[in-house]
Amino acid sequence: MTDNQLGPEQFDIGSAATPQGATAEPQRSGKPLGFDVGSCHIVACRQADGGFSTQGQLNAFFELPYRKFTEDLLEHNRISYFQDDGTLIIIGDEAGKFALVMDAELHRPMRDGLLNPTESKAQWVVRKISEMLVSRPEKLGETLCLSVPAVAPEQEARLLHHQAVLQDMFMSLGYRVRLVNEGHATVLAALADNQFNGIGISLGAGMCNGCLSYFSVPVLTFSYGKGGDFIDRSASEVTEMSVSEVRIIKETELDLGRGPANRVEHALQIFHDHLIRGVLQRLQQAIEGTTNLPKIHQPLPLVLGGGTVMPAGFLDRFRKIFKEFRFALPISEVVLTEDPLTATARGACLAAAAEEATGIA
Ligand SMILES: Nc1ncnc2c1ncn2[C@@H]1O[C@H](COP(=O)(O)OP(=O)(O)OP(=O)(O)O)[C@@H](O)[C@H]1O
Ligand SMILES: [Mg+2]
């Protein structure tokens, strides 16, 4: 394989949902780094001037048959690609734009929150996209904190493999790699004012991940094996629309706070409701199944992050369904994180900073 790295965007052929602030310049500042390799997006985050600097790319690739003319055009427009076996492989946000314009399939290196075992180029593509966002550290051994999901026992082999591959990848770049659960990262990103007491749930594309944190210590973690991809696939199955068409409507038009305007909006509402109930059931089971819960009398906030919370009206819908449930712990309120698409990476960045400050993982 050969590769050809990109520069500033010059070839604007559409839009793809990408975390805010995303650019194509690798970060190299020597500060602790948070990294979120998600089923839909890869996001890197460093602390910067009292805030955060985040950059993201779509975790996807698009294949074109090799033609010298096409390759010249990609080069001319400084679009990131590599060549493999008679194919031009475009990666990251640009891949999303090509798929949109050409109405063709976008390949995804990850499925259900983990590396996709049926996608032979998965590891290679994730590495290439990650290298668009971070370069080697200034000093060997800088801390990079990587978010990882909590998965059901039957997925344990996939999780161990996923973690080991990504850990090796960042170690080979020269980082000291630490791991943080994705739900825990959501608490770290959003609940500093509450001394990191509360429940964080990240509702992503492949899955949802939750954590109950007590003074920043993860007391329990859980996951639910559905996310935005499930919503898109399911709504596509019951309408005549492709998965991409459904996703675009979901990301640009859907308002869960009003009555559905058409069949696809109706289907999207049904599957959002199903997902919300599934997540709350898993939270309920996780709380009930944990024997050594701290005796918490102060009601805890529940904070939601991840791209699946983004449609207008999502929070009200979640709060309404939340009232159907009884929990063995008092929950004070349900809120959204700021900038839900970067919350996991920001939380991972804080975990990396804490790790550097204390030396404790
Ligand atoms: N504006 C939007 N409106 C509705 N949904 C959105 C919007 N933007 C992104 N999404 C959805 O959010 C999901 C991606 O969220 P996110 O980037 O948090 O997932 P991820 O972290 O890559 O996945 P995972 O954590 O499950 O591996 C996709 O299903 C996408 O369609
Ligand atoms: Mg995620």
Tens of pLDDT, residue by residue over 168-219, are 999 999 999 999 999 999 999 999 999 999 999 999 999 999 999 999 999 9
Residue-wise pLDDT for 249-260, tens only, equals: 999 999 999 999
pLDDT at 103: 83
**Residue 2 parent element (H or E):** strand 2-4
CB 113 within 8 A of CB 39: yes
Q: Which residues are close to ligand 2, an ion, with C-beta < 5 A? A: 38, 204
Class (C level, CATH) for 40-58+107-356: alpha beta
Q: Which two tokens stand for residue 188?
A: 């770290």
Neighbouring residues of 97: CB distance < 8 A, sequence distance ≥ 6:
11, 12, 13, 14, 15, 16
> For the chain, how are helix, strand and coil distributed in percent, rounded to 5?
40, 25, 35
pTM: 0.91
**CB burial class (10 A; 0-12, 13-18, 19+) of residue 208?**
buried
Residue 42 Cα, ligand 2 centroid: separation in angstroms?
A: 9
User: Across all residues in the chain, what is the average pLDDT?
Assistant: 89
* DSSP 8-state assignment for residue 299: P
The reported pLDDT for the residue numbered 20 is 36
Q: Which amino acid is at 206?
A: G
DSSP β-ladder status, 87-91 and 61-65: antiparallel
Pocket test for ligand 1, best of 186, 249, 279, 310 (most atoms within 8 A of CB): 310
pLDDT at 360: 47
Dihedral sign (CA 160, 161, 167, 172): positive
pLDDT the model gives residue 27: 59
- Give pLDDT tens digits for 323-332: 999 999 999 9
Residue 307 CA, ligand 1 centroid: distance in Å: 3
pLDDT at 254: 97
d(CA 134, CA 2): 19
Helix (H, G, I), strand (E, B), or coil: what is residue 238?
coil
263 and 241 Cβ atoms separated by less than 8 Å: no
Judge whether residue 138 has pLDDT over 80: yes
Smallest Cα–Cα separation from 235: which of 201, 204, 279, 275?
Answer: 275
Cβ of 143 less than 6 Å from ligand 1:
no
Mind listing the pLDDT tens digit for each residue in 269-298? 999 999 999 999 999 999 999 888 888 889
Whether pLDDT at 319 is above 80: yes
Task: Answer whether 205 contacts ligand 1 (Cβ < 6 A).
Answer: yes
Ligand 1 site, residue 247, Cβ cutoff 6 A: yes
Could you tell me if 301 and 332 are in contact, meaning their C-beta atoms sit under 8 angstroms apart?
A: yes
* Range list of β-strands (E), 59-132: 61-65, 81-84, 87-91, 110-111, 114-115
What percentage of the chain has pLDDT greater than the value 70?
Answer: 91
Angle between the 263-288 and 314-322 helix axes, to the nearest 10 degrees?
50
Q: Is 200 in the pocket of ligand 1 (CB under 6 A)?
A: no
Per-residue pLDDT, 309: 98
Task: Give me the residue spans of the domains in the chain.
Answer: 40-58+107-356, 61-94
pLDDT digits (tens, 9 = 90+) for 222-275: 999 999 999 999 999 999 899 989 999 999 999 999 999 999 999 999 999 999
How much of the chain exceeds pLDDT 90, in percent? 77
pLDDT tens per residue, range 8-40 = 222 222 233 444 334 444 556 678 899 999 999
For residue 26, the model assigns a pLDDT of: 52
**pLDDT > 50? residue 72:** yes
The CA–CA distances, whole Å, from 16 to 96, 103, 162, 273 equal 6, 13, 26, 25
Residue 184 C-alpha to ligand 1 middle, in angstroms?
18
The residue contributing the CA closest to ligand 1 atom 28 is 205
> Quick check: 347 pLDDT over 80?
yes
Tokens of 229: 């991809």
250: Cα separation from own chain's centroid: 17
Identify the nearest ligand to the CA of 110 by its number. Answer: 1
Q: Give the residue with greater pLDDT, 355 vs 271.
A: 271
Side-chain half-sphere exposure of 135, counting CA atoms within 13 A: 10
